[in-house]
Copies of this chain bind each other. A is one copy, B any other.
Amino acid sequence: MFGKMLEMVRASCPLIHNITNYVTVNDCANILLACGASPIMADDREEVAEITSICGGLNLNIGTLNSRTIASMLIAGRHANDLGHPVVLDPVGVGASKLRTETALRLMEQVRFTVIRGNISEIKTLASGSGNTKGVDANVADKVTEENLNEALGFAKNFARKSGAVLAITGAIDLVTDGTTAYCIRNGHPMMSSVTGTGCQLSAMTAAFVTANPGHPLEAAAAAVSMMGLAGELAHDRLGELDGNASYRNYMIDAIYNMSPDGLEKGANYEVR
């Protein structure tokens, strides 16, 4: 089924509007092209509504937010909602500052997100910040492992239901859930964390997948997550003795570019819970 999702991206070539950080923006653009989508970056409040109108989906990333771009994210997000476009939130570093936390929560209040993608700490911050969780939820560990997987799944499903978004929580084990069904994905490689912005890239790609697969946000997000992890595995296999994280960065995007629907289908490693 993930292969089908990728096929749809390649067939429809969705145009994705990104308001994202300047650290990893180039990689986000290139990974969108690699998976078969097209990127537009635009963050001025005077034009974001129009730009969103000509796109199929929107990706909001608060990695290097500032007062100017926060306003633009709110405008673009609400407009995408009005148009029925899917919107992805990447709450980079939420919890690290009041500005990030407040901005993420404000975005969640004013914009209906199709997918929220972050690591477990970021998602926990969103969950507690928005006053939506209590009990065991608040105690979920900062790393999803085989040992605490059930607990993490409970937390994720609960917050997915409450937020109304598909959650994509990435880490050693990735969890993607709409509150009812959850994909536990075991693709990926630890070395991915030595490359800046693999999360940002995944969020951009997730926006492409949910845009190209209307009506299937859960499966589309899970396919994107699995594809990113699989790219991390294939790129790792390709590393030569002198290669490090810079070459690895390139090899991952290359692997996305070269991945076939069939290759994704066969390489995807997940269970549904």
State whether B29 touches A196 (Cβ < 8 A): yes
User: Whole-angstrom distance between the alpha carbons of A93 and B67 in the complex?
Assistant: 24
Q: Is A105 an interface position by the 8 A CB rule?
A: no
| Interface window among A78-86, A96-104, A168-176 | A96-104
A136 at the interface (CB under 8 A from B): no
Is the CB of A42 closer than 8 A to any CB of chain B? Answer: yes
Contacts of A197 in B (CB 8 A): 26, 29
Q: CB-nearest residue of chain B relative to A231?
A: B244
Residues B41 and A21 in contact, CB atoms below 8 Å apart: yes
**A30 within 8 A of partner (CB):** yes
Cβ–Cβ contact B254 & A244, under 8 A? yes
* Contact stretch, chosen from A32-40, A126-134, A213-221: A32-40
A208 interfacial by beta-carbon distance below 8 Å: no
> Chain B: which residue is nearest A98 at the CB level?
B50
Rounded to whole Å, the gap between the CB of A104 and the closest CB of chain B is: 12
Could you tell me the dominant secondary structure of chain A's interface residues?
helix
Our pick among B25, B253, B254 for the contact of A22 (Cβ within 8 Å) is B25
Question: How far, in Å, is A225 (CB) from chain B's closest CB?
Answer: 20
Q: Are B93 and A33 in contact (CB under 8 A)?
A: no
- Set of chain B residues within 8 Å of A42, measured between Cβ atoms: 64, 93, 96-97
Which residue of B is nearest A253, CB measured?
Answer: B246
Q: How far is the CA of A229 from the CA of B241 in the complex (A)?
A: 20
Assess whether A257 is in contact with B238, with CB atoms less than 8 Å apart.
no
Of A66, A243, A258, which is in contact with the most chain B CB atoms at under 10 Å from its CB? A66
Judge whether A188 is part of the interface by a CB distance below 8 angstroms. Answer: no
Nearest-CB residue, chain B, relative to A93: B40
Distance, CA A98 to CA B44, complexed state (A): 12
A196 to B93 alpha-carbon distance, docked (Å): 26
Give the residues in chain B near A254, CB-CB below 8 Å: 242-247
In angstroms, Cα B256 to Cα A244, docked, is 8
Query: Roughly how many angstroms separate A253 CA and B194 CA in the complex, as a whole number?
Result: 11
Q: Mark A54-68, 1 if CB is under 8 A from B, else 0.
A: 100000000111111
CB distance from A80 to the nearest CB of B (A): 15
Closest to A18 in B: B23
Q: A238 contacts which chain B residues (CB < 8 A)? A: 242
- Per CB-CB distance, the 3 closest pairs between chain A and chain B, nearest first, are A244-B257, A244-B254, A246-B253
